[in-house]
Structure 1
Amino acid sequence: MHQESQDGPNLPGLAVPFPLRINPHVDTARHHDMAWAKGTGLVSTPADELRYRSWDLALLVAGWLPDAPPDGVDLAVNAFNWCTVYDDLHAGERATDSRYARRMAEPVLTYLETGHLPRNPTPLLLALDDIVTREMQRSPHESHARIAHNWALFVAAFMEETKNREGGLPLSYHEYRALRMESGAVPLMTDLVEIANGYHVTAGARSVPAFQTLFNSANEAICYINDLYSYPKEEAAGDQHNLVFVFENAHRCTRQEAVGRTVEAILDACDNMLLQQSRLRNGCRRAKLPPEEIAGAHRFSHDLIYPISSMVSWQQKSGRYARPDNAVYKSGLHR
């Protein structure tokens, strides 16, 4: 199951047990997203545009949401790109500057808590407000607090990561996993599975143990796939936040062994997803959920398989981690 790719001995090919399907609106989404990024100010220089285009997050989203309508795909591409821009704004020298991380996070967290923009919002905040507003419009009121909370988790995690880099101490697996589930943006990205596709998973369905375990396993698989392909870039930047490095330190093993353990963690998470899918219907019945809530839970559990296969395919094709550098996104979005 572990095959080495042409990228080198430390970047394995990965076969996950889920199909890859591509949304037919991918090319239109690329065009719409670039227009949106320029219109909001996320992209304002030729260098920004080249870097932004190289990520090709529209391709990731097209596999993530193969059945979503065009406006749902557009929303998800905008959200994924916002997260990537925010990530890049913490690269280079800024990666160890905790005051900078707090200065970046505080206005965003205030907006997410209050729902109100400051008097002179930055392009970063204007773009986020546009995304969150569209998410709320497509979601029932009971989901609004969760949507804002998951965005806040992502933003706040950068302050914690910066402190870790300043301290330079290795993380345990459990410390890393808890933080990575937030800084990886996966909860807010998996929110978009239902939001972009235009259905709703109720709080009752989310409380079913099989659903919770399935959701957590999907998040783990997505995060760890990212780690598997991004670690050369993070190593070049001196960043310890990667499962490969966590395994290497915890088990005192070779790099290749740590990569193998990461592959095993991904495949274990995929296997657990399949197991929990088989248990979900009985779990929903035991919770006495009405048929429409069971249907929503089952659709979501099925749709969660596509982000896994899309993440693998995109990592192998995207320019996001093509070079292990620590270049910083150029726009003055932090001003």
Structure 2
Amino acid sequence: MPEDFGIPFPHRCSPDLPAARTHTIRWLRSHGLLRDELAEKRFTAMALAEVSAYAYPDATGAELDVVTDAVSWIAICDDLLDELDVRDPEALHRAWAFQQQCFASLDAWLAGRPAPGATPLDDLLSRLGTGMTQTWRDRFADGLRRWFWSSVDAAFLRPANAVLSLHTYRVLCRETNGNRFFFPLTERAGGFEAPAALFGHPHFEAVHAAADELVAFVQAVHSMDVEEARGDHHNLVLVLEHQLRCSRAEATTAALAEITAAKDRFLHLTASLPQVYDQLDFTPAPRAAAERYVDGMRDIIAAARDYGTESSRYQVVGR
């Protein structure tokens, strides 16, 4: 299995990785999310501080701390939703209550009201919003809501034990990988905002879609063994194996071809972004901010490529 997937973006890492790891362990412990030494060892093995430092390599100090906290919190929530059994009424009620609590926190944050509680998300939002406009907050909150809803949808599909069609899988994984709030964290980490006119432009939405697929498909290849071991068929390789009625090796080859297609589409679309900037009459400042955002997308894609070989989240226990 090629570890670089033909992705041409360099590996980059913030020099403040060790300090951010120490900070986030302390932050998670303060919110009761790491309760003992074993939990801390498991967290460290997940390499969430590493993926944050790879995805936001220019961030240092408090900026890297807050995005590492955010990435870690989301990953913990993601693992809990992956384990959600919607056939268990109590578990389903707890998940629904947690989602509503998070949405209440988002609503208060967006409206400028005091936080409804003292949850990890309330603390995160108070720090993430510092220096950012309402437009950015709206975009970040929308990405988080979309991730919540799609993750719950995936949880309801899981018990059916049905293999999704490639089209359905493609649509679902674009949302469940959470890029629509990971990408805005590039702006928060860098202390800038991409011009609002860029979002919603058809060409830039196509860039986003290609990046979404590229990250999701790379993660799917990394996580195939883990997802198969827990009986989760929402995985690119498994979907292709079923749809093409082929061997595992042939399905893996087809998955790599999907990754190459998404990568080539991303490269082609980003190469023509200067014409989009011209259409939008961007002056040098918004043009530079747009390019910083796209550079951030490249860093996140590279982080997805590199992180998968390091994290315990992609390793089957006992293997």
Give aligned pairs, total. 311
Q: Deviations over 1:220-254 (max 9, x none)?
A: 11111111011111111111211111212222122
AA aligned opposite 2:225:
P
1:54 equivalent in alignment to 2:48: no
Deviation of 1:107 after TM superposition, in Å, equals: 2.1
Deviation of 1:56 after TM superposition, in Å, equals: 1.4
Counterpart selection for 2:225 from 218, 232, 239: 232
Deviation of 1:118 after TM superposition, in Å, equals: 4.3
Deviates more, 1:193-202 or 1:83-92: 83-92
AA aligned opposite 2:227:
E
Deviates more, 1:232-241 or 1:295-304: 295-304
AA aligned opposite 2:98:
M
1:157 equivalent in alignment to 2:150: yes
Indicate conservation of the 8 Å contact 1:69/1:197, yes or no.
no
Indicate conservation of the 8 Å contact 2:82/2:155, yes or no.
no
Deviation of 1:22 after TM superposition, in Å, equals: 1.3
Please name the residue that 1:9 is paired with.
none
Q: Deviations over 1:123-168 (max 9, x none)?
A: xxx1111112222113111111111111111222222112101223
In structure 2, relative to structure 1, the CA distance for the partners of 1:284 and 1:247 (3 Å cut) is same
- State the secondary structure of the residue aligned to 1:138: coil
Deviation of 1:47 after TM superposition, in Å, equals: 3.1
1:35 equivalent in alignment to 2:26: yes
**1:1-335 matched pairs, under 5 angstroms:** 3=2, 14-92=5-83, 94=85, 97=88, 99-100=92-93, 101-115=95-109, 117-118=115-116, 126-324=119-317
**Separation in 2, partners of 1:61, 1:108:** 22
In structure 2, relative to structure 1, the CA distance for the partners of 1:300 and 1:246 (3 Å cut) is same
AA aligned opposite 1:190:
F
4+ residue runs over 6 A deviation? none
Indicate conservation of the 8 Å contact 1:205/1:293, yes or no.
no
AA aligned opposite 1:36:
W
Over the residues paired in the alignment, what is the CA RMSD in angstroms? 2.1
Indicate conservation of the 8 Å contact 2:225/2:315, yes or no.
no
- State the secondary structure of the residue aligned to 1:14: coil
TM-score scaled by length of structure 1: 0.86
**Separation in 2, partners of 1:96, 1:83:** 23
TM-score scaled by length of structure 2: 0.90
Deviation of 1:189 after TM superposition, in Å, equals: 0.9
Indicate conservation of the 8 Å contact 2:187/2:293, yes or no.
yes
**Separation in 2, partners of 1:91, 1:201:** 32
Indicate conservation of the 8 Å contact 2:21/2:49, yes or no.
yes
Deviation of 1:46 after TM superposition, in Å, equals: 3.0
Deviation of 1:303 after TM superposition, in Å, equals: 2.5
Q: Deviations over 1:15-41 (max 9, x none)?
A: 311111111111111111111111122
Deviation of 1:288 after TM superposition, in Å, equals: 2.1
AA aligned opposite 1:244:
V
**Separation in 1, partners of 2:220, 2:84:** 21
Q: Deviations over 1:85-143 (max 9, x none)?
A: 11222344636547244343222223323436546x6xxxx111111222211311111
Deviation of 1:316 after TM superposition, in Å, equals: 0.9
AA aligned opposite 1:286:
Q
In structure 2, relative to structure 1, the CA distance for the partners of 1:93 and 1:208 (3 Å cut) is closer
AA aligned opposite 1:49:
E
- Percent identity at matched positions? 26
**Long gaps (5+) in structure 1:** 4-11, 326-335
